[in-house]
Structure 1
């Protein structure tokens, strides 16, 4: 059955809101788009954006990239072992920072979960505490800890750990809140204590989510550990910064390639761990 233009116009006259948004809604959408476009144009103007500047920058970037090829190949063990030691140090910084952050974050996350902590004031205070911790960038924390503890891996570990406490506590508490209450009721009906309800009713549901969060953030912290090394918090970042400062671009590219390879290997191993513990998802089922 086909409708004529007359039928369509009659339907529009009867129910105009079904064919067009109200005037207030259209004005609100137009205002939002105008504000978005205006903010975008202002940012371009404030940051001195111009096609010529981009073109010149791309030319200089091409020169830098040309210096990186061919990549440097270390011909003696002493120099290569220094790079491997930096990679291992970065890996250790990320691992220890992630582990310490998770250890301190888990009990704190229970305070922010609605189905665990029934006291609104205490729960909201815990959540605002997460926000305060996450407000400090890892790099800023590293600079503070370098000032307090000196150069080396320790400031990097502490910076990642403190930053991850806020992140993990928020993500863990949200994961705990999204669990089903039926297993908890079953444990409670069996005479289980509050601790046993958490241990046997909530933990089995939330553990796979927590594991995924830990593995992902560990991968992210490996990259963060590289940046922290540039400011003196140990790791491969210090060597990379040193090679760039000395204009040894071919060595810098080789180090970057090793960092990429390490991150790829960690991502692959994390996938195997997730598949082993959580199980492989089969879309056909």
Structure 2
């Protein structure tokens, strides 16, 4: 029992505020802790200041940038509403293409990530070196940003949605495999032991002991990543990987800012609808509303 606990449990029944006022030394941090905090704060502050200086981030530059940003925003308003039938069809096709890229990329990535996650889970793969190599492979894949992968696949397969699908799929392999493996590692051992005790094989233990526990979590993770991939698909189109991003980039290059804002609004609406549907599905899968 500490001195503080003794005092609080005594007949005096002082509150924390009264204790701090009457005996501040009980609440004071040790000198070594205060020194460590001061050093950490100093290092972070110095690093922050160095970054501001290295990147030439000055109040004048920020003020000038805000002025130019205001000019751009003024050109965006009001949003353009005079699209003809051909432009509406073009934008609609771009939105559908972006959605299709996200769907295909997420599904392909999940299909490859699922078996790899079994190799990366420590409760299923007992070979430490092999598991270590698999997990580091996940890290290597995640080190490549989706935009970089898109540029690589554009060089290999040319412009179009195929490069976007492959970029998202490869990126999702590293992300989903890691998340799947962590979900598998957190399962209860009792169902697996029950299957083994009843004479089931290792494959049956995975099928009937592991999968029923992790499937709601895996599906929830996949749905969340799908939402993210819809937004990523928009960016990929800007570099030539298909989708609405290509149309958006074309309007930006032509300084047609009112049309840019109209397209952005449509993208926001699409993302919102997908987010709402995804939250509904997650709620049905895991039995609780997802926090957004």
Does the alignment reach a TM-score above 0.5?
yes
Query: Contact 1:74–1:80 at 8 Å: present in 2 too?
Result: no
Matched residue, 1:245: 253
Following superposition of structure 1 onto structure 2, how do residues 1-285 of structure 1 map, counting pairs within 5 Å? 1=12, 18-280=26-288
Runs of 5+ unmatched residues, structure 1: none
Query: Contact 2:138–2:175 at 8 Å: present in 1 too?
Result: yes
Change (3 A) 1:277 1:22: closer
Worse-superposed segment, 144-153 or 53-62: 53-62
| Cα-Cα RMSD | 2.0
Change (3 A) 1:44 1:187: same
SS in structure 1 opposite 2:163? Answer: helix
SS in structure 2 opposite 1:97? Answer: helix
Q: Following the alignment from structure 1 to structure 2, what is the Cα–Cα distance between the partners of residues 145 and 276?
A: 37
Aligned length: 275
SS in structure 2 opposite 1:21? Answer: coil
Query: Contact 1:134–1:166 at 8 Å: present in 2 too?
Result: yes
Worse-superposed segment, 200-209 or 150-159: 200-209
Could you state the TM-score of these two structures normalised by the residue count of structure 1?
Answer: 0.92
Q: Following the alignment from structure 1 to structure 2, what is the Cα–Cα distance between the partners of residues 72 and 262?
A: 18
Q: CA deviation at 1:69?
A: 1.1
Could you state the TM-score of these two structures normalised by the residue count of structure 2?
Answer: 0.90
Runs of 5+ unmatched residues, structure 2: 1-11
Q: Following the alignment from structure 1 to structure 2, what is the Cα–Cα distance between the partners of residues 8 and 31?
A: 26
Instruction: Give a deviation string over 1:27-79, Cα, whole Å, max 9, x none.
Output: 11111010011111111111112222111111111110010111111442111
